[in-house]
């Protein structure tokens, strides 16, 4: 009894001491939580257009009551992997080591300028991400399908769908799998007319389909496709009716079905039948990328639905752009291909939404981080047709494509709305993005230029001859050149020769013209401008290029023309200071000033600022600044004193 009493007194005393030392208000209300959603590739001008039309109601709410930047500066290069590495760590690519979606392989002494690795690899990230500092501060973290989510947090739950992708999405049609009279099927499903069979493969699995005329379906002729894992009606995995594509088509997708990946392990895919001719002569069946479930704590998701455990992650952009969903609008189509593509996007968004909804409801979290690859994926498809400044712009095509792109943004806004329903008054909600988008229509074969000048040499089979090569535009297309320096395997440029090679490259690139237009508008040397621009470093480039709007680099070695036209599309990766590369950052919630328009914001400022709002240490390698202008100050002091603020060691812009 007495001991009890003493313990309670001691705890009470400790409580009073802690309460005294913590700023008033915080202790009474509990710590601030945060929900962060990243939209990949959000274009501010398009967002503003949609906000004016009232088509992004959730983002509008967030902006209205929060702090908002629409010209946030991305990483250099403004690619997705460097962008997210910088967003989460508060450090530029020079420090994170993530200089592209693929990065030169290290150590330099063991690998040539031609060797590279996947830049989305957590093991290559050299800076601490925000969720790791939250984790160390004892906060619970949930990260769903976010680039670089995963290894660096001990107690968090990480969904890592993008790492589980083990194959490509695809279509099956009457040409690839010609319907034949069905033979040797057992337990054949009922059909008014004799069924037809098809056989097709998804990854390493063979699947068997039957076209049947369902007696309970008034439709004349073949109206149903059943898909089974064997020629047996007892092994049916999906039953599909043909329906035209469009958003709202989610009910027509199959449940996730199991297939074997090429390594023999299990993966899931979804099926969707867009078309089936009543005479059985043709059909169009789409399947999503086979994906393996990758969750850091599988025990926690046992009770979750199959939708949560399966993963899609992207729409059918490659298949759409090949014309395999039908002719695209710019190529004379009437919109069926766009409707189908849009439905694949809406289905992927729905799967992400359901995963997030489940995780928000069933897991404990103080910091919840989510990601969607949209609008980026659709922006790549359509931005090139929406920019009136590009030669060959067709207003009729733009007018027909714009509503589809708006629909993609609207879906991302719906995901935001779903996450916002789980906030309390102690929750900060942030909407961030990694880069903008530019319409391009011309390719510049930088390596062909280098070859012509003798700085790059190839052998008779077109392979790079490292013994005669001084520099190359990295074929991983990160917007930079690599100098074949002697610190690299098979390098030939000694340190004392570097400045001469740089001078020759500068002259060559800056003098190059397309007609009377200078194509390469600036060259930045990582050796002299690395610290100020956040570029270079061990796994970065040597010379970073700035290109004229509308132009992108062709990183291939065997390009025929120095300048070639291409079908317009959307591209990013350019100098982050280009207006087209700027993007969004919105913060809303406790401690955030409402209606604040932010200026001079960089991606690297996000993690330090959110850490400050959460009251956790700033990620330890961060060089971005805490955006003090974001903070509402209850005591009327500006800026708010902040014990955890660390001195900045440099800026990336």
Q: Give the residue nearest to Zn ion (CB).
A: 376
CB of 136 to Zn ion, least distance (A): 32
Residues of this chain that bind Zn ion (CB under 5 A): 376
Contact call for residues 334 and 364 (beta carbons, < 8 A): no
CB of 573 to Zn ion, least distance (A): 8
Residue 161 vs 590, nearer CB to Zn ion: 161
CB of 539 to Zn ion, least distance (A): 20
Residue whose C-alpha is closest to residue 188's, from 208, 174, 216, 206: 208
- Strands across the sheet containing 196-202: 180-181, 196-202, 205-212, 224-228, 236-240
Report the C-alpha gap between 557 and 447 in whole angstroms. 6
CB of 525 to Zn ion, least distance (A): 27
Give Cα separations from 10 to 23, 373, 652 (angstroms): 22, 52, 49
Contact call for residues 98 and 124 (beta carbons, < 8 A): yes
CB of 571 to Zn ion, least distance (A): 8
Residue 135 vs 376, nearer CB to Zn ion: 376
Contact call for residues 67 and 586 (beta carbons, < 8 A): yes
Cis peptide before 584 (omega within 30 of 0): no
Residue 144 vs 433, nearer CB to Zn ion: 433
Angle, helix 395-420 to helix 376-386, in steps of 10 degrees = 150
> What are the CB-based long-range contacts (under 8 Å, 24+) for 456-461?
458/557
Residue 33 vs 145, nearer CB to Zn ion: 145
Residue 338 vs 376, nearer CB to Zn ion: 376
Residue 314 vs 469, nearer CB to Zn ion: 314
CB of 267 to Zn ion, least distance (A): 24
CA dihedral 104, 107, 108, 109 (to 10 degrees): -150
Helix (H) or strand (E) holding 441: strand 438-444
Residues in a beta bridge with 225: 211, 240
- Between CA 67 and CA 76, with CA 73 as vertex, the angle to 5 degrees is 150
CB of 382 to Zn ion, least distance (A): 13
Query: DSSP letter string over 397-423?
Result: HHHHHHHHHHHHHHHHHHHHHHHHTT-
Residue 86 vs 588, nearer CB to Zn ion: 86
Residue 296 vs 372, nearer CB to Zn ion: 372
Residue 376 vs 542, nearer CB to Zn ion: 376
CB of 291 to Zn ion, least distance (A): 20
Residue 376 vs 407, nearer CB to Zn ion: 376
Residue 128 vs 376, nearer CB to Zn ion: 376
**Sole residue written with tokens 């955890």:** 644
CB atoms within 10 A of CB 225: 24
Report the C-alpha gap between 483 and 524 in whole angstroms. 13
CB of 410 to Zn ion, least distance (A): 19
- Strands across the sheet containing 520-525: 471-473, 480-483, 543-547, 520-525
CB of 570 to Zn ion, least distance (A): 8
Both structure tokens of 425: 């008054």
- Strands across the sheet containing 551-553: 551-553, 438-444, 563-571
CB of 481 to Zn ion, least distance (A): 22
CB of 376 to Zn ion, least distance (A): 4
Residue 523 vs 603, nearer CB to Zn ion: 603
Residue 77 vs 245, nearer CB to Zn ion: 77
Residue 298 phi/psi, 5° resolution? -55, -30
CB of 48 to Zn ion, least distance (A): 20
Contact call for residues 110 and 487 (beta carbons, < 8 A): no
Angle, helix 395-420 to helix 57-64, in steps of 10 degrees = 60
Both structure tokens of 480: 């930079």
């Amino acid at each position: 009894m007495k001991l009890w009493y003493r313990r309670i007194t001691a705890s009470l005393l400790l409580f009073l001491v802690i309460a005294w030392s913590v700023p008033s208000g915080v202790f009474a209300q509990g710590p601030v939580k945060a929900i962060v959603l990243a939209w990949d590739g959000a274009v501010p001008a398009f967002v503003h257009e949609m906000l004016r039309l009232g088509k992004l109601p959730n983002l509008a709410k967030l902006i209205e009551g929060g702090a908002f930047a629409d010209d946030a500066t991305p990483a250099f290069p403004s690619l997705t992997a460097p962008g997210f590495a910088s967003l989460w760590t508060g450090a530029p690519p020079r420090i994170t080591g993530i200089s592209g979606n693929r990065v030169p392989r290290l150590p330099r002494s063991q690998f040539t300028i031609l060797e590279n690795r996947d830049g989305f690899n957590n093991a290559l990230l050299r800076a601490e991400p925000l969720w790791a500092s939250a984790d160390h501060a004892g906060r619970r973290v949930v990260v769903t399908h976010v680039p670089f989510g995963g290894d660096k947090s001990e107690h968090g739950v990480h969904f890592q769908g993008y790492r589980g992708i083990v194959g490509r999405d695809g279509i099956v049609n009457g040409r690839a799998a010609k319907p034949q009279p069905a033979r040797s099927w057992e337990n054949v499903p009922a059909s008014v007319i004799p069924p037809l069979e098809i056989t097709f493969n998804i990854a390493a699995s063979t699947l068997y389909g039957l076209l049947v005329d369902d007696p309970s379906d008034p439709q004349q002729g073949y109206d149903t496709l059943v898909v089974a894992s064997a020629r047996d009606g007892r092994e049916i995995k999906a039953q599909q009716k043909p329906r035209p594509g469009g958003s709202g088509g989610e009910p027509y997708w199959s449940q996730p079905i199991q297939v074997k990946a090429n390594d023999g392990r299990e993966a899931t895919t979804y099926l969707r039948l867009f078309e089936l001719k009543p005479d059985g002569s043709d059909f169009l069946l789409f399947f999503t990328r086979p994906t393996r479930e990758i969750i850091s704590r599988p025990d926690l998701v046992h009770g979750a639905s199959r939708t949560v455990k399966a993963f899609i992650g992207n729409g059918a952009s490659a298949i759409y752009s090949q014309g395999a969903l039908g002719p695209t609008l710019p190529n004379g189509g009437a919109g069926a291909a766009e409707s189908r593509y849009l439905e694949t996007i809406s289905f992927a968004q729905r799967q992400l939404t359901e995963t997030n909804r489940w995780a928000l409801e069933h897991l404990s979290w103080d910091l919840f981080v989510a990601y969607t690859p949209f609008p980026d994926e659709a922006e790549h498809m359509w931005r090139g047709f929406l920019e009136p400044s590009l030669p060959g712009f067709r207003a009729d095509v733009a007018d027909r494509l714009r509503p589809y792109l708006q629909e993609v943004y609207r879906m991302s806004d719906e995901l935001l709305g779903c996450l916002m329903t789980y906030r309390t008054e102690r929750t900060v909600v942030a909407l961030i993005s990694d880069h903008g988008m530019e319409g391009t229509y011309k390719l510049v074969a930088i390596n062909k230029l280098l070859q012509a000048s003798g700085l790059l040499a190839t052998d008779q089979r077109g392979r790079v001859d490292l013994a005669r090569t001084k520099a190359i535009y990295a074929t991983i297309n990160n917007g930079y050149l690599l100098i074949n320096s002697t610190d690299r395997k098979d390098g030939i440029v000694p340190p004392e020769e570097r400045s001469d090679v740089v001078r020759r490259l500068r002259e060559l690139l800056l003098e190059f013209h397309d007609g009377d237009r200078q194509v390469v508008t600036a060259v930045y040397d990582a050796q002299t401008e690395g610290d100020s621009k956040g570029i270079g470093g061990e796994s970065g480039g040597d010379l970073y290029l700035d290109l004229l709007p509308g132009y992108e680099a062709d990183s291939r070695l065997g390009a025929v023309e120095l300048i070639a036209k291409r079908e317009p599309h959307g591209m990013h990766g350019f100098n982050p200071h280009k207006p087209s590369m700027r993007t969004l950052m919105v913060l809303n919630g406790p401690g955030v000033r409402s209606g604040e328009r932010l200026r001079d914001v960089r991606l690297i400022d996000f993690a330090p600022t959110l850490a400050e709002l959460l009251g956790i240490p700033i990620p330890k390698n961060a060089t971005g600044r805490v955006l003090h202008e974001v903070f509402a100050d209850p005591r009327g002091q500006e800026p708010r004193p902040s014990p955890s603020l660390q001195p900045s060691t440099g800026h990336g812009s």
